[in-house]
Structure formats: structure tokens, C-alpha cells
Amino acid sequence: MIDVQLFFYFGIFLSIVGSVATAWGPGVKDPVIRIFNTEVASIGVCLVLLCYNHVLALLTLLATSVIMTLILFRTLIRLEEMGVDL
């Protein structure tokens, strides 16, 4: 069976890597890559919360996924309005 500490340490690692990628992300011109960097950090936070409470981790994952999806759709709509070829 998978150890709980594995979830915790992998979650911490993903949170740090995702946060650094998101902070470094403004240098990236593609908004989709910025959204993916934010999703990596949110999955890491969900894995850390999974060690403490399953419901809390599930609610966090759902809330961050919905918010990031809305931001991604808004970004793609704005890019299409500006005439950028996707």
C-alpha cells in the first residue's frame, strides 16, 4: 500500500516546482503554459491536504480546477478576439 508520507513529500515537491514555474511564468508568452504551471502547484497542495483530510483535498482540487478552467477559457477567448492564431 502507498505510504501517506509519499503523498506529503510529493505534494510539497509539486507545490514548490509549480510555484517557481508560476513565478517564472510571466516570462513565458503562452498563457496556456502559465495555466498549466498553476495547475501543477494546485495539485501539489491537494496532495498535501490529502494527507490530512480527504474531503478537504477533494474540495480544493475541484475549486482550483474550476477557477483555472474559467481563466483558461477567458484567456483563449481574448486571444481569439485579438486575432492570434491558436
Could you read off the pLDDT of 19-39 as tens digits, one per residue? 888 777 666 677 777 777 778
> Is 69 a residue whose pLDDT tops 60?
yes
> Is 41 a residue whose pLDDT tops 60?
yes
User: The cell 510539497 sits on which residue?
Assistant: 12
Q: For residue 84, what are the CA distances in angstroms to 16, 34, 48, 73, 75?
A: 32, 17, 38, 15, 11
Q: For residue 51, what are the CA distances in angstroms to 20, 39, 72, 78, 83?
A: 23, 19, 29, 38, 45
pTM above 0.85, yes or no: no
Domain ranges of the chain: 4-81
